[in-house]
Amino acid sequence: MNRAAVPGLPSRYPIGGQLPALYAEDDFAQRFTAGLDTVLAPVFATLDNLPAYFDPRLAPADFLAWLATWVGGADDPGWPEDQRREAVARAVELHRRRGTRRGLVDALRLVLGVGAEVGGDGGAAWSSTPGAALPPPPADEVLVRVWPLREPTVDADRVRALVRTLCPVHTACRVEVLAGPPTGEGDENDA
């Protein structure tokens, strides 16, 4: 989309009408300023709608990648436009939850369209009582179980790559791909 030259776009602020009375009847001055109006009309239209350019749900599609760079959001031109808009709109929220269970589940749902469940805490243990016996050793890995939501299958490699980028560095993460949401007992492991 090109906003530089929109044919037939009228100026909301014609320069010819703002000239002193001396030039109001001057044909050359009116034609000259009409040419400037043609050049400036898209600029005024953009400035009049500037707040919409910063809202990812309203901005022109070609602005989404630029907005994503402002908030560190994920943007893949191969995604459907509504998914790209949602990723940019929720980028700050996802960054705030990065490294948490909820943040990982939300990112997997948004980016890959899969349901997810995260188990284990990645190895954090402590005691609130000074001098008490050490707590039992924690699980040494985080288990991420995913199942399809938007697509009929799950790309396990893409899930592993995203989990690897979103899990805290000190944790070991294991991914299991399920055929559907877990029922609680005897879930099948596909990967």
Report yes or no on 166 lying in a domain: yes
Q: pLDDT tens track of the chain, all 191 residues? A: 555 566 778 888 889 999 999 898 899 999 999 989 888 888 888 888 889 889 999 998 888 999 999 988 878 888 889 988 998 999 988 889 888 889 999 999 988 889 999 887 666 667 788 888 877 766 678 889 999 988 888 889 989 988 888 887 777 888 999 988 887 654 444 44
Q: Pairing between strand 142-148 and 173-177?
A: parallel
Burial of 104 (0-12, 13-18, 19+ CB in 10 A): buried
Report yes or no on 80 lying in a domain: no
Q: Are residues 42 and 110 in the same domain?
A: no
Decide: 104 and 174 in contact? Cβ < 8 Å.
no
Report yes or no on 152 lying in a domain: yes
Report yes or no on 79 lying in a domain: no
Report yes or no on 24 lying in a domain: yes
Choose among 116, 117, 103, 118: nearest CA to 165: 103
What angle do helix axes 64-71 and 81-89 make, rounded to 10 degrees? Answer: 30
Q: How many CA atoms lie within 13 A of 28 on its CB side?
A: 1
Rounded to two decimals, the pTM is 0.64
In Å, how far are 121, 168, 171 from 127, measured between CA atoms?
Answer: 15, 22, 20
Report yes or no on 111 lying in a domain: yes
Query: What is the span of the domain harbouring residue 114?
Result: 97-177
The number of folded domains in the chain is: 2
> C-alpha angle with apex 35: 33 to 36, nearest 5 degrees?
65
- Containing 5, the helix (H) or strand (E) segment is none
